[in-house]
Structure 1
């Protein structure tokens, strides 16, 4: 197990660190106005980062998931909304190129779109009825109806980050009339920033944190997708997208929130290590309560970081598997917990000076509020980690809620894993 970065990985990490400094200058404005950071996406394109998740054999940066995790950790410290949204581009390109059922000709087209035509992509899986606590609720109800030359899409997707800024969206839809709720078709849909006929963006995104992700609801009413943009079909959506593709389906988000936590720690460390209270000769950092809070934050975040680095290394080394999924679940849990705790400790330690809206800590604390609920949420992670740690098949666990209708059994670790 070696977490030493290659020269190429280190180059990308340092590039993202420098971009983060620039993004931080506008992060407050985009957060306040909940506007898309278009200039940041353009700078990512100019920096050659549209290929950050593309393997070297396809002409991408080839930094692996470990390199990607470390890069996102840096980027998120400048503007978490930019990092969280751009993660959707990496999700789309990385997941498609990793998928064994996507034909090589289709993969090459995706590569050309990203690297030669500089097209920005997003991923849209959540729907208005999805729950980050219940994995089966992510099976798509967006319907794909077969027509001459392709499909038409009918239904809604929710929390579609960066949709209005993207040229293409990677999504799954359920084939019309198929009785298997997990039957799905993967598409790469040309959307032209949401201006595609049959597509309506509902501007509902006005949350506490991650405001500049523009994660609005998108309605599809007969949007036509040509056959050439069909990626693959599956009868096991959960195994196919979430378990086998755990690195891109949820671990990329975790890396972003690790960056949020580290940003909170660094802000608190610098502020409290230098600020003096009236009548005292030493900075407040010498106070035992402050020392303990900073020490706890640093310890928890460092442990979370290396849990994620280990999961990323394992994924790069051994590929998709149930064990890889298990590693990522543990890392996601630890990052959510550590970031949530860091936000609470920093707000107490820094006091009102850290909660004024013109200061970046206040924004980072609000962004951190979404860490434990980003899918799979912290309770779902703990639940699945518990089952897998005991060697139990999650598919055999009793459903937590009564279903409206029987669902096809999710055979965890089946052919999709």
Structure 2
């Protein structure tokens, strides 16, 4: 899908340049499970990490539709890096629109993102809690430690881009008798913050989605970003998260599609009357890939454009957001599998990127909303909401 505005075209062009750079070492980082620090530094230098920070705070002021289109391009170069950047952009874009944090904290963190290249992500999931979308109370705690002071202790899992994050937006149980939960901005340099390199996974191996441990970390009231009842965690559609995960999945799948098409055009077995691209079955499969990608991308972009076009309608977009993410991630898996069938045995080689794409697209399936929760959101709008 082509950009619709000059500003969108500029961001997409920047993403394409970064993707070409990321692609050079993507396989190396995947094989070693190493973290691509150089990729994030390049994104910082290009200003891409400030894209979703509102213009009022010195950022690019790009909307969800702009960033989603750019993320599709970025993920063609390296899915792991694109996922890490998606999490940071999601944090900036979500808060830029929702404005849930205290103004002083928002100014401080956004200024750091723009001027210093600060990177942030949620530190929310836990081994026993799973995703906070389930409404549970985290085991990570914030305990009073004197007037206006708190002590944070606990362990978080799946903290994508942990090696380069400057701010962990940490989901905690507030242990002051209120029964509330909260989110606290914890800087990585505070004593007691430790990243434990636990990430050794099937896909997105270079995403650095490690555990983060908080051992009696001292924070103040000023570090609290939100406090609420646990049920309120599920009130707002998490559009930036869901859409950017979907966009990243589609970008990886598009890279697989491009590889398979290139292979079909160039591969001509000995004795064959023409290249693989002339085989009717292969042509059918290419059509299947492109049709699926067109449909999933169209719904994803339609949803992100609706989100930007009418802020008042956002609370009603939950089912469409869920459907967009679900279709994007399922389509990505389907497309990569079709690409592997077209290419054949070569697709299994570690020296070629298809097997990495095959593994990477599976990560979208376990990012929220997962299949069952997405379908429940859609069904609830049909069966439970007033007609």
Task: Report the TM range for the smaller structure's normalisation.
Answer: over 0.9
Aligned pairs for 1:107-186 within 5 A: 107-131=106-130, 135-136=133-134, 139-148=137-146, 149-178=148-177, 180=179, 183-186=180-183
- Relative distance call for 1:55 and 1:228 in structure 2 (3 A) is same
Root-mean-square deviation (Å): 2.1
Alpha-carbon distance in structure 1 between the residues aligned to 2:237 and 2:109: 17
- Relative distance call for 1:158 and 1:387 in structure 2 (3 A) is same
TM-score (norm 2): 0.93
Alpha-carbon distance in structure 2 between the residues aligned to 1:294 and 1:387: 36
1:33 partnered with 2:62: no
Alpha-carbon distance in structure 2 between the residues aligned to 1:189 and 1:100: 19
Tell whether the 8 Å contact from 1:80 to 1:256 is kept in structure 2 after alignment.
Answer: yes
Give the unaligned 5+ runs of structure 2. none
TM-superposed CA distance for 1:367, in Å, is 0.3
TM-superposed CA distance for 1:380, in Å, is 2.2
Alpha-carbon distance in structure 1 between the residues aligned to 2:345 and 2:41: 35
TM-superposed CA distance for 1:392, in Å, is 4.1
Aligned residues, how many?
A: 384
Tell whether the 8 Å contact from 1:92 to 1:170 is kept in structure 2 after alignment.
Answer: no
Task: Give the match for residue 60 of structure 2.
Answer: 61
Tell whether the 8 Å contact from 2:58 to 2:111 is kept in structure 1 after alignment.
Answer: no
TM-superposed CA distance for 1:37, in Å, is 0.6
**Deviation per residue, 1:117-167 (Å, 9 max, x gap):** 2222222221112446x9315653321112234321122110011112111
TM-superposed CA distance for 1:238, in Å, is 5.3
TM-superposed CA distance for 1:11, in Å, is 0.3
Task: Give the match for residue 405 of structure 1.
Answer: none
Alpha-carbon distance in structure 2 between the residues aligned to 1:251 and 1:297: 20
TM-score (norm 1): 0.86
Alpha-carbon distance in structure 2 between the residues aligned to 1:27 and 1:341: 22
Tell whether the 8 Å contact from 1:340 to 1:371 is kept in structure 2 after alignment.
Answer: no
Aligned pairs for 1:7-406 within 5 A: 7-131=6-130, 135-136=133-134, 139-148=137-146, 149-178=148-177, 180=179, 183-192=180-189, 196-235=190-229, 237=230, 239-240=232-233, 243-244=235-236, 246-319=238-311, 321-392=314-385
Alpha-carbon distance in structure 2 between the residues aligned to 1:280 and 1:243: 59
Alpha-carbon distance in structure 2 between the residues aligned to 1:139 and 1:322: 24
TM-superposed CA distance for 1:174, in Å, is 1.3
TM-superposed CA distance for 1:102, in Å, is 1.8
Give the unaligned 5+ runs of structure 1. 394-417
Tell whether the 8 Å contact from 1:131 to 1:137 is kept in structure 2 after alignment.
Answer: no
Tell whether the 8 Å contact from 1:139 to 1:238 is kept in structure 2 after alignment.
Answer: no
TM-superposed CA distance for 1:96, in Å, is 2.7
TM-superposed CA distance for 1:376, in Å, is 1.6
